[in-house]
Amino acid sequence: MNEYYYELKITPNKYYELYLDLIMSLTEDALEELDETIIIRSEDELDEVEAGVVYFTQELQNSLDKEISCTTTLEKIENENWIQKYKDSIEPVVCGKFYIHPSWYEPKEDKLNILIDPALAFGSGHHETTSSCLDAISTYVENGNSLIDVGAGSGILSIAASKLGAVCDICDTDPQATENAVINFVSNGVTPKNVWTGSAVLSKEKYDFVVANIVADVLIMINKDLKKVLKDDGILILSGILENYEDKVLKKFEEFEILERIAKNEWRTFVLRRKN
């Protein structure tokens, strides 16, 4: 063990999950999420990661023509057994029919168990958007349904649907995410039907369920793609939406009725179906 390690804290004021995706592409070190702050700890210096975050913030601000800020704090810290401390900070979580736990916890007999080590990719059940999607999947998805998980991340949502007997495809624009999602599928004893790096529009199928836990601006941008791969009587589960953006998102899905609106803190998840 090295005498010191480096800790980088990243706190964006907007677009948290975009920053999370960026950081996952910049480092393979374990991540911790705490109060809308992303924490990276590594025995390697993290100056380049910090510089990448600063550059991304500038480019995002220029691209969207919005004021965006992101605070970064980089420290050199005397080493402890931080891996154990990290493990101790991660608690299992129950979402609907599911019990999501890291590998160092035992499964529960009365739940559908999902093993996810949070270091692998975003989506461990702790974030409000993920837990809301799991609640919706618990309620609506049934054995034999077809489902596509768009922006799959860790694959937790499609793993959950697979545990209920659904046939699932997964896609993500980040190849590291799809790779880790497949690993998580294997760890949970289920198999996705199709996996690809890219958007939902690459699919030639239509699905009973289209699940997209991304961010509001991306949902708006890809709304036609999501509708294109949904069966006429299918259900959309949209998440990653901050309260202030819900009207903006729903305007793009005006032809859908709201079956359920799930609110957890400032985050919103919508279960939608086309109007008759």
Domain boundaries, the chain: 4-87, 120-274
Report how far apart, in Å, the C-alpha atoms of 265 and of each of 21, 124, 271 are: 22, 18, 17
> Per CATH, which fold does 4-87 belong to?
Alpha-Beta Plaits (3.30.70)
Q: Model confidence over 65-84: pLDDT tens digits?
A: 888 889 999 999 877 665 67
Q: Is the pTM of this model over 0.75?
A: no
Among 51, 41, 52, which Cα is nearest to 6's? 41
Q: Which two tokens stand for residue 268?
A: 């919103």
Q: What was the pLDDT predicted at 1? A: 58
Q: CATH homologous superfamily of domain 120-274? A: Vaccinia Virus protein VP39 (3.40.50.150)
Q: Classify residue 153 as exposed, middle or buried by CB count within 10 Å of its CB (0-12, 13-18, 19+).
A: buried
Q: What was the pLDDT predicted at 82? A: 59
Q: Model confidence over 18-44: pLDDT tens digits?
A: 998 889 888 888 888 888 899 998 888
Residues of the chain with pLDDT under 50: 120-122
The string of DSSP letters for 243-270 reads GGGHHHHHHTTTTEEEEEEEEETTEEEE
Q: Model confidence over 222-250: pLDDT tens digits?
A: 999 999 999 999 999 999 999 999 999 99
Q: What was the pLDDT predicted at 120? A: 43
Helix, strand, or coil here: 121?
coil
Q: What was the pLDDT predicted at 158? A: 97
258 neighbors 236 (Cβ within 8 angstroms): no
Q: How far apart are CA 157 and CA 176, in angstroms?
A: 17
Q: What was the pLDDT predicted at 152? A: 92
The string of DSSP letters for 175-226 reads HHHHHHHHHHHHHTT---SEEEES-GGG----EEEEEEES-HHHHHHTHHHH
